[in-house]
Amino acid sequence: MKNYIYSTLVLFFIVINAYSQSPSWSVNENNFQYTMSFVAFVNVNGTNLSNVNDKVAAFVNGECRGVTNLTYIASEDSYYAYLTVFSNENSEALNFKIYDSENDEVKDVAKTINFEINEHYGNLFQAFSLANPALNNDAEITDFNFNGIDLNDISFTGSQIRIDLNNSVNVTNLNAVYTLSSGAKLYLGTENQASGNNSIDFSNPIQFQVLSEDQSVLKQWEVVVNLSEGVATYYKKEAVCYEGGAIKVLYTENSYEVVLSKENTTYATQTITNGQAVFTNLEVGTYKVKVGGNVKEIEINLKE
Amino acid sequence: MKLKVYTFFLVFLVVFVSCSKDEDFKTISPANISFVHQDGTEIPINECINPNGKYAVRIKTTSQGSGKYKVISVDYTVNGFLKTMTFLKEGTQLNPVTLIDGLNTAQIVESGYSSNIYFTAQGEFELVE
């Protein structure tokens, strides 16, 4: 009978261990004087975890210093970890682990952070990222366009995008189509904008925010839309072996600056005088001429 | 007496003009025609033909025979316009030429020797659509 009981117990433990269980992470809060806290989202293999049985924990040299399950936040329709971490001193290096209950896996988070007394990381808009593998932290707009609208020109300067459109375009209701860094999101205020499915008034400069995939970077972007003025007519002379090409711009308004650029670099500038500006001695290549929001691409070839 | 003088003079003329032995000549003939710089130097094959450059047509002649050179006039055309170069002796002569846009052709009328050179004029401004 005794052997039977032992056998049953052994079998029970074998079964229990064969089917993994939630890790028994725990921390004795009474042993620590200070705390810091996190509002984090948890991502495994590119998917945000969304189960209240999922867990995250913080460790210092393998000792658990904080653990929590995910909590569903209805206002965001997402799951977050409200993690409190304990320590008795600043600067202890914190490591994190994730428990994915659906796959019954524990994942290490590559990111470490030093303990800072009373410090808080993350909020519901820009939560702290606990991910395996790490998520992208770029928050760039790599392309910007408007659905169904031909751009005269677009230029990126730092975090400002300047767009020139024909003056016939109604800018009060434009549908922005854009490309962002992988996994990033674009917000107008705190409202997420879907590329190609929005309606924005660009009469005035618009301030966008781009949140990186890992939510660690929130970058401000300004988009300025200019409407063209005046009417420009363009002429050219091809280059020949003894002389460079030439571009002549006739414009209905005087004193406007004409910018000639090549390969996205300003090549020369002139001011409209007596209704025209002429650029001479141009080497073979493709030039962009810009005046009063009007833009024309002109190719200078070698005439043979 | 007057008749005698005339007769003597006539005989003299016949003797010295008609009865001299046949005279030999060097016959000049054109050997080639080409475009060159006005200083006579050759135009390299890939040289950029410049509207500010000075160019000429050069005709080179050779001679055959001995004796005096027989003066010849060589008719040639440049882009269809007839011109003439007179040679008192064999050698080369130049005649300045103004090149036109496109293919320029110089050709010796009789022999058919010819030479071409292509000049590209930059032209006027063209509307960019």
Question: Tens digit of pLDDT for each residue in B94-123?
Answer: 999 999 999 999 999 988 899 999 999 999
pLDDT of residue B8: 57
State the architecture of A232-300 in CATH terms.
Sandwich (2.60)
Q: pLDDT averaged over chain B?
A: 87
Q: Where in chain A is the domain with CATH 2.60.40.2340?
A: 141-227
Domain that holds residue B42: 23-119
Chain A residues 217-246 with CB within 8 Å of chain B: 233-243, 246
Q: How far apart are CA A194 and CA B107, in angstroms?
A: 74
Please tell me the pTM assigned to this model.
Answer: 0.63
Percent of the residues in chain B that have a pLDDT greater than 70, as a whole number:
82
pLDDT of residue A152: 87
Quickly tell me which residue has 């833009």 as its tokens: A295
* Nearest-CA distance B47 → chain A (Å): 9
Residue B96 burial (CB count, 10 A): 9
pLDDT of residue A32: 97
In a domain, B103, yes or no: yes
B125 contacts A248? CB cut-off 8 A:
yes
Residue B83 burial (CB count, 10 A): 15
pLDDT of residue A304: 87
Q: How far apart are CA B94 and CA B34, in angstroms?
A: 10
Domain count, chain B: 1
In a domain, B28, yes or no: yes
Cβ burial, residue B54 (10 Å; 0-12/13-18/19+): exposed
Contacts of A176 (CB under 8 A, 6+ apart): A144, A145, A146, A147, A193, A195, A196, A198, A200, A223
CB of A142 closer than 8 Å to CB of A136:
no
For residue B48, list chain A residues with Cβ-Cβ distance below 8 A: 241-242
State how far Cα B31 lies from the chain centre.
Answer: 10
pLDDT of residue A3: 59
> Quick check: B22 contacting A, CB < 8 Å?
no
CB of B81 closer than 8 Å to CB of B36:
no
DSSP class of residue B14? I
Residue B2 clears pLDDT 90, i.e. is over it: no
pLDDT of residue B7: 63
* A16-52 burial: b if 16+ Cβ within 10 Å, else e: eeeeeeeeebebeeeeeeebbbbbbbbbbeeebbeee
Cβ-based contacts under 8 A for chains A and B: 39
Quickly tell me which residue has 């008609």 as its tokens: B18
> Quick check: B125 contacting A, CB < 8 Å?
yes
State the architecture of A141-227 in CATH terms.
Sandwich (2.60)
pLDDT of residue A289: 95
Quickly tell me which residue has 């050709």 as its tokens: B107
Mean per-residue pLDDT pooled into runs of 10, chain A (304 residues): 52 42 90 97 96 97 97 95 97 97 96 96 95 96 96 92 93 97 95 96 97 96 94 96 96 94 93 96 96 93 93
CB of A86 closer than 8 Å to CB of A28:
no
Pair of tokens at residue B74: 């060589």
Tell me, what amino acid is at A168?
S
pLDDT of residue B10: 52
